[in-house]
Structure 1
């Protein structure tokens, strides 16, 4: 990806916080990563707004199903870190059951 040098203004305490965690050349990478996260977040909000406009709001049941699925996947990864035998994460059907 091409880069372009820009000038930004940061509060002194924010810059000091960043510099405490990276070397001088790492400030740009730190700020770039933060901006990239914000861009991704903005795009996700735009997608969410589009999908809600196109298909209507998400039902509470669908929302709960997604949270259950995330919880099951997190539990699977936790068990893998603890040395459980290899197996696939639970499918959406297994979570709903």
Structure 2
């Protein structure tokens, strides 16, 4: 996949041990692609935290029952995705 988005070179400082781990994990994709993806994930997570904070201000905190119900639904979805992945359901022919 070719990235057609404009890029800009920057200089960052990363702890040496972390950089060694990242280079090992990012070998095939390349360090820049790995770091860009990590930054996108962090940005998206920060936006979700802002949304959760806003929703809790508007509607109050999530109750324990709501939390349990949501986790149960997520576990059910994960199980269904795993079932489909291992059985080949939904794969393109």
Normalised-by-shorter TM-score class: 0.7 to 0.9
Moved more, 22-31 or 72-81: 22-31
Equivalent-residue separation in structure 2 for 1:23 and 1:78 (angstroms) = 27
1:40 is paired with a residue whose SS is helix
Q: How far did residue 84 of structure 1 move?
A: 8.7
In the TM superposition, what whole-angstrom CA distance separates every residue of 1:16-70 from its partner, at most 9, and x where no partner exists? Answer: 2222233498111111111111111111100000000011111111111111111
Query: What is the aligned length?
Result: 86
The answer to whether structure 1 residue 7 and structure 2 residue 11 are counterparts is yes
Residue correspondence of structure 1 range 7-86 to structure 2 within 5 A: 7-23=11-27, 26-83=30-87
State the TM-score, normalized to the length of structure 2.
Answer: 0.75
Where structure 1 has 5 or more consecutive residues not aligned to the other structure, the ranges are 87-97
Query: RMSD in angstroms over aligned alpha carbons?
Result: 2.5
Q: Flag the structure with more relative contact order, 1 or 2, with Cα contacts below 8 A and sequence separation at least 6.
A: 1
Where structure 2 has 5 or more consecutive residues not aligned to the other structure, the ranges are none
Equivalent-residue separation in structure 2 for 1:20 and 1:85 (angstroms) = 34
Larger radius of gyration: 1
